[in-house]
Amino acid sequence: MKPFYLLLMVLWGALAFYTGAVIGNDGLNLFPWFFGDMARWSWPGQFNLDFSMMLFLSASWTAWRNGFSVSGIALAILAFFGGAGFLLPYLTYLAWKHGGDTAAILTGVNHKDRAA
């Protein structure tokens, strides 16, 4: 599992570096770019729509995993707007917290004891 943790952190570092460079070049206002591509019905717009759906799935899973609690909803909002910048460190934290137990990582408060 440790190589997986390392991979998650390398990906997170690469994303942070790339994001910093883009912010330096284009600023923080990504919405005109993001929705503008979607409004043009182009391949970049198709990618942005697909990506938005993945963000929604990530946020939905995060809220469900945390039992739709207040903190789970707050984490879901972070998941939606943070994308991989949230999900990579969150999965790393969960893997560390649950000692690599994949069922506990994925299901959280919905995890049932399967030792029966």
Range of the domain at 76: 2-110
Contact call for residues 84 and 11 (beta carbons, < 8 A): yes
In a domain, 106, yes or no: yes
Count up the domains in the chain and report the number: 1
Establish if 76 belongs to a structural domain.
Answer: yes
The answer as to whether 67 is a domain residue is yes
Name residue 57's amino acid.
L
- 31-52: per-residue pLDDT in tens? 888 899 999 999 999 999 999 9
Q: Report how far residue 28's alpha carbon sits from residue 77's, in angstroms, rounded to the nearest whole number.
A: 18
| pTM (two decimals) | 0.81
Residue type at position 47: F
Tokens standing for 36? 């503008």
Judged against a pLDDT cut of 70, whether residue 114 lies above it is answered with: no
